[in-house]
Copies of this chain bind each other. A is one copy, B any other.
Amino acid sequence: MISLVAMRARIERGELTPGAAIRASLEAIGRHDSDIRAFVVTNVAAGVAASSKPLRGIAVGVKDVYDTADMPTQMGSAIYAGWQPKGDAALVMMARRAGASIVGKTATTAFAHMDPTTTRNPHNLAHTPGGSSSGSAAAVAAGMVPLAFGTQTGGSVIRPASFCGVAGMKPSFGLLPTTGIKCYSGSLDTAGLFAATVADVLVALRCLTGRDFAQSDEDPPLRVGVTRQSFAGPAEEDSQAALAIASQAFNDAGAIVVDKDDPEEFGAAWEQHPIIADGEALRSLAWEWETNRELIPVKLCQALKAAEDITPSRFDEARRISRKARLAARAFFSDVDAVITFSAPGAAPKGLDSTGDAKFNRLWTLLGVPCVNVPVLHNSHALPIGVQIIAPFGFDSVALAAALLLERELAAVRT
Interface positions of A (Cβ within 8 A of B): 69, 80, 83, 86-90, 92-94, 96-97, 174, 177-180, 183, 186-187, 209-211, 280, 283-284, 286-288, 290-291, 311-312, 316, 394
Contacts and interface: CB of A to CB of B under 8 A. Distances in A.
Contacts of A316: 394
B183 A290 contact: no
A87 B287 contact: yes
Smallest CB-CB A-B distances: 9 pairs: A87-B287, A93-B286, A88-B287, A179-B183, A179-B284, A177-B283, A90-B283, A211-B312, A93-B287
A12 B94 CA distance: 53
Nearest to A67: B287
Contacts of A211: 312
A186 B176 CA distance: 11
B97 A290 contact: yes
A176 to B, nearest CB: 9
6 contacts: A80-B86, A90-B287, A92-B287, A177-B280, A179-B186, A180-B183
Contacts of A179: 183, 186, 283-284
Given A94-B283, A177-B186, 13 more contacts: A69-B287, A87-B287, A90-B286, A90-B287, A97-B286, A174-B186, A174-B187, A177-B280, A180-B183, A209-B312, A210-B311, A211-B312, A316-B394
A93 B283 CA distance: 8
A204 to B, nearest CB: 16
Contacts of A69: 287, 291
Contacts of A90: 283-284, 286-287
Contacts of A286: 88, 90, 93-94, 97
A159 B123 CA distance: 58
Given A210-B312, A211-B312, A290 B178 contact: no
A62 to B, nearest CB: 13
A155 B209 CA distance: 29
Nearest to A313: B211
A102 to B, nearest CB: 12
A96 B290 CA distance: 10
Contacts of A80: 86
Nearest to A182: B179
A284 B291 CA distance: 28
A394 B312 CA distance: 12
A90 B284 CA distance: 5
A183 B88 CA distance: 13
A26 to B, nearest CB: 23
Contacts of A93: 286-287, 290
Given A97-B286, A186-B177, A86 B88 contact: no
Nearest to A394: B316
